[in-house]
């Protein structure tokens, strides 16, 4: 039963250690038009208001492949707006991941279907689960920083256990 849940809701379609080095042409070839990017620990350190060099390079790579880009965060703050504005990309704050509702609303507003989207993030229980709930492709990226809130560290241990046990 847990295996089925993992396979259907938590197993990412793709994995990478570095978004700059990922082969985005594979995604482009699948007719994906929009990339939803988690912010905290996917692009920058949790709580960052400004994109670092890594985040800027990721956005450059995605633009080179002509993807529409949207920052996606569960946070509700002007920090997300400021961060996205600094990169010149769209955003969705208070995404309520792993729920797919706000993500699907954003897709509809932008004129895309879930079949044209990929959700990129560093956590199975928020990012990947949200993407799966929305019917999008998913890409799990290795977390960039290890200084996290206690509850996130607990989730990480469970994620690692599930990946070791059920990854095929």
Comparing CA positions, the residue from 37, 50, 74, 52 lying closest to residue 151 is 74
Residues 6 or more apart whose Cβ sits within 8 Å of residue 86: 50, 51
Render each residue's pLDDT in the chain as its tens digit; 168 residues.
778 888 888 999 999 999 999 999 999 999 999 999 999 989 999 889 999 999 999 999 999 999 999 999 999 889 999 999 999 999 999 999 999 999 999 999 999 999 999 999 999 999 999 999 999 999 999 988 777 666 766 776 667 777 777 776
CATH number reported for the structural domain that contains residue 66 in this entry = 3.40.50.1000
Domain that holds residue 134: 2-166
Whether the model pTM is above 0.95? no
Could you identify the residue written with the tokens 């990947």?
128
Counted domains in the chain: 1
């Amino acid at each position: 039963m847990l295996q089925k849940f993992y396979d259907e809701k938590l197993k990412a379609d793709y994995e990478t250690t570095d978004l700059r080095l990922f082969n985005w042409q594979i995604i482009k070839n699948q007719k994906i038009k929009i990339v939803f990017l988690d912010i905290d620990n996917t692009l920058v350190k949790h709580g960052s208001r400004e994109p670092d060099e890594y985040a800027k390079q990721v956005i450059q790579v995605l633009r080179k492949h002509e993807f529409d880009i949207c920052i996606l965060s569960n946070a509700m703050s002007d920090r997300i707006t400021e961060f996205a504005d600094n990169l010149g990309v769209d955003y969705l704050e208070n995404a309520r991941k792993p729920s797919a509702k706000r993500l699907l609303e954003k897709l509809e507003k932008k004129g895309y279907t879930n079949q044209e989207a990929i959700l990129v993030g560093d956590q199975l229980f928020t990012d990947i689960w949200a993407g799966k709930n929305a019917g999008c492709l998913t890409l799990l990226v290795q977390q960039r920083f290890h200084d996290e809130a206690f509850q996130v560290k607990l989730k990480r241990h469970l994620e690692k256990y599930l990946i070791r046990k059920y990854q095929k």
